[in-house]
Amino acid sequence: MAAPGPDGAVVEWSRADVARLGELARLALPGEALLDDDLASVCFDGTWPEADGRSVVLATADGAGAVALTTRPGFSGTEAFVQLLAVHPDRRRAGIGQTLLAAADRWAASCGAHRLRLAGAAPYYLWPGVDTLWVGAAAFARASGFTVDGEAQNMALPAGARAPTPDGVAIRHVLDDGDAEAVRVLVRSQWPHWLAELDRGIEHGCCVGAFDGDGAPGAAALGFCCHSVNRFGWLGPVGTDPEAQGRGIGGALVGAVCRDLQVAGLRSVEVCWIGPEAFYASLGGVRSRTFTLLTRPVGER
Ligand SMILES: CC(C)(COP(=O)(O)OP(=O)(O)OC[C@H]1O[C@@H](n2cnc3c(N)ncnc32)[C@H](O)[C@@H]1OP(=O)(O)O)[C@@H](O)C(=O)NCCC(=O)NCCS
């Protein structure tokens, strides 16, 4: 399982170590309810092949800490992102975080990355950045030379949120190939940067589409909404064709996803990296979390 590492201090974890990573992540971040499935899909299957990306999970030999990394294309070349950094609560302030960061730096440099980011590695990520309530992580990042590069918000939506389906529109789960292709056509034309998340939403059976007319096979897609693409119970991406906006389609789609998640046992749905706040507020959403996006040059320290 644990392959020999790039140096004596760390080893590489493979997908077979996902349960170990899950146990460590849940101990390190007890409020997050991270599932092994979330970690498998983001940390081990979170490479973005279209962008020629690479990913790795590095851990201390005793398993007390781990860091999951991936690369994404930046404006001026490859960048490396920390997907998860976790140290066992009983082993903190002993330099394990720094050891992992040094290994992360070496890995990033070997990928040709010039920046290391503590920020959401869209399309596959666990958080948009570092939660401002994670005081220890923020102090660690400051002490490690990271600087703030932006901010992102999540919102909480009651799982009971619903909105009526507008006339002339059919809302249904995107299950068959024809509906999947119709939604892809819409997303490709309006938000091509969401295609990877959409495909994963469809693959997970977690995509709802809005279709024109009575929704007969072959009908054009007017909108879509996914959930549980990266994190179970997190909502997004969501979009309504600009020409069909203002008819209540977005609200009906979000309501349909909330119904699925309520049936799955959730009382509240997390909307990640919110777009228009007023839209979610109209469905009962409230700001719930603030994240800082942090960065430092590779090899800085
Ligand atoms: C953030 C985290 C990974 C740090 O791991 P760590 O092994 O304790 O870090 P280190 O021992 O290498 O700390 C290096 C320096 O960072 C700073 N630091 C780290 N944790 C700190 C804290 N809780 N308060 C203040 N400063 C802190 C200190 O300057 C520290 O040096 P010092 O101990 O000599 O003063 C760990 O607290 C953790 O697992 N937190 C929960 C998970 C998390 O929030 N991950 C980040 C998002 S993915």
Taking the CA of residue 82 as reference, the ligand 1 atom at the shortest distance is 48
CB 234 within 8 A of CB 42: no
Index of the ligand 1 atom closest to the CA of residue 93: 11
Q: Are 61 and 9 in contact (CB under 8 A)?
A: yes
Please name the residue whose Cα sits nearest to atom 35 of ligand 1.
Answer: 93
pLDDT of residue 216: 85
16 lines ligand 1 (CB under 6 A): no
Q: What is the pLDDT of residue 51?
A: 66
Residue 57 has phi, psi (to 5 degrees) of -120, 120
40-49, 256-265, 282-291: least confident range = 40-49
Using a 6 Å cutoff on CB, does residue 96 contact ligand 1?
Answer: yes
Q: Is the CB of 143 under 6 A from ligand 1?
A: yes
Asked if residue 68 has its Cβ within 6 Å of ligand 1, the reply is no
pLDDT in tens, 241-277: 999 999 999 999 999 999 999 999 999 999 999 989 9
SS3 content of the chain, % helix, strand, coil (to 5): 35, 30, 35
CA atoms within 13 A on the CB side of 202: 19
Ligand 1 atom closest to residue 25's alpha carbon, by position in its atom list? 42
Write the residue with the smallest CA distance to atom 36 of ligand 1. Answer: 87
Q: Residue 3: pLDDT above 50?
A: no
Mean of per-residue pLDDT scores for the chain = 95
All structural domains of the chain: 10-151+290-297 (3.40.630.30), 160-266 (3.40.630.30)
Q: Which of 10, 39, 93 to mutate to test the pocket of ligand 1 (most atoms within 8 A of CB)?
A: 93
pLDDT for residue 7 is more than 70: no
| AA identity, residue 57 | V
Highest mean pLDDT among 191-200, 211-220, 292-301: 191-200
What end-to-end distance do the CA atoms of the chain give, in Å? 30
pLDDT in tens, 63-72: 999 999 999 9
